[in-house]
Structure 1
């Protein structure tokens, strides 16, 4: 029988009995009606303002997958149900087929992960060069190009270290993996470039709810486009003494 491909994770839902909305993180406005996200695309983008709950949810999903909540894969972390965060305990993940392969990337803790890799791993698996001896963007792409293969990949703001040109290169890597059904991606991002990935499902956490939108409906796209179309208008609002004459 042929091996089934992505998407592997089909839904993320909350267990109402474990949702105590009187305390964090359950009192995040977007979580008010619970969590019910269908992952029917091989690439799903989570978008929203800082504090909207998207990264908090990613970390909890990573815990449920057995990934290190600080970043890494199952080789770098072992956990039991009791070790999970309260939000992770309140989630149900539905798989078909289940995969244990994958990776959780947190831009903010990538330096610590790179140090760990140098201590325990063969650098040939990361392009043969120390991740610390490459620029932040180069090391990110070295990880993407050399370690991403078959599995479920959770990425929290991967654009943080990537120039616009390298964001395009990253999209090419995503395509090489997801198009043949080898990989599934769940990505939290502020990047209008990444949000435009063809066929990606975009889930917004803004306005106190979790809902699917077109990427052009996102505030990130709309604000970026509006600014680039007429930066002077924003400068007038931001800088009292601005004079474009």
Structure 2
């Protein structure tokens, strides 16, 4: 086992397929989950990318919940539930942890961030840990970034579901800087994203979900290729996209 493998908090997951009664119901019917056996995580950053509905957020949620995070987000200590909508996938996931335990951790998801912010507001003692201002008194992007800048610390395991949803491109680049700072302080990230900016972090593994989950290079991801093609051929792409309206 190498030094980096020793330092990471979550080395891999395994799906206990023999315990699953049926692959005909959600989320087990998703092709990505039907074909999932294990995922190995990079000691620094692991990205999970794929089209809407591919199952990336479902897999990320299951990893976070199996680790002990609240399905709607927060630290290990958060236990609020606005609506019990998370899948049962976490029950069938085996975590392979590293030698060390993280001192910090957070599950941040765009989908239920409003519920998280409400829970923090209802516990005044927590507000100071998130920058000292109510998250509801800031824009969505500002509050999202406030959590990232103020609540995330050294030696942490951070699981992020589509963090770009509230962030401008410039804030996404600032997020890359902050991710790098935290990695230098001993943190590990697992991120589901659509953002070619965020997934550009150089020391990482990228899993792309299509019919199955495969490791791909940054330039091979569909998100990168589509964005590059659009920016480099904007007029032609717009003509193609708009021709159905003529």
- Please say whether Structure 1 and Structure 2 have the same fold, judged by a TM-score greater than 0.5: yes
Partner of 1:8: 9
Spell out, residue by residue over 1:67-93, the C-alpha distance to the aligned partner (whole angstroms, 9 max, x if none).
Answer: 1101111111289xxxx8421111111
- Shift in Å at residue 123 of structure 1? 2.0
Partner of 2:135: 131
> CA–CA distance in 1 between the matches of 2:241 and 2:119?
43
Partner of 1:226: 229
Match of 1:236 among 218, 239, 242: 239
Do the aligned residues in 1 keep the contact of 2:46 with 2:204 (CA within 8 Å)? Answer: yes
Spell out, residue by residue over 1:74-116, the C-alpha distance to the aligned partner (whole angstroms, 9 max, x if none).
Answer: 111289xxxx842111111100124473111111211111111
Indicate yes or no: 2:181 matched with 1:176. yes
| TM-score calculated relative to the size of structure 2 | 0.89
* Secondary structure in 2 matching 1:27: coil
Q: 1:53 to 1:112 in 2, by over 3 A?
A: same
* Secondary structure in 1 matching 2:111: helix
- Shift in Å at residue 232 of structure 1? 1.4
Do the aligned residues in 1 keep the contact of 2:32 with 2:213 (CA within 8 Å)? Answer: yes
Partner of 2:166: 161
- Shift in Å at residue 241 of structure 1? 7.4
Match of 1:107 among 101, 110, 113: 110
| TM-score calculated relative to the size of structure 1 | 0.89
Q: 1:100 to 1:60 in 2, by over 3 A?
A: farther
Do the aligned residues in 1 keep the contact of 2:16 with 2:94 (CA within 8 Å)? Answer: yes
- Shift in Å at residue 195 of structure 1? 0.9
> CA–CA distance in 2 between the matches of 1:241 and 1:10?
48
Do the aligned residues in 2 keep the contact of 1:215 with 1:221 (CA within 8 Å)? Answer: yes
- Shift in Å at residue 240 of structure 1? 2.2
Structure 2 residues not aligned, in runs of 5+: none
- Shift in Å at residue 165 of structure 1? 0.3
> CA–CA distance in 1 between the matches of 2:104 and 2:66?
13
- Shift in Å at residue 32 of structure 1? 2.5
Partner of 1:24: 26
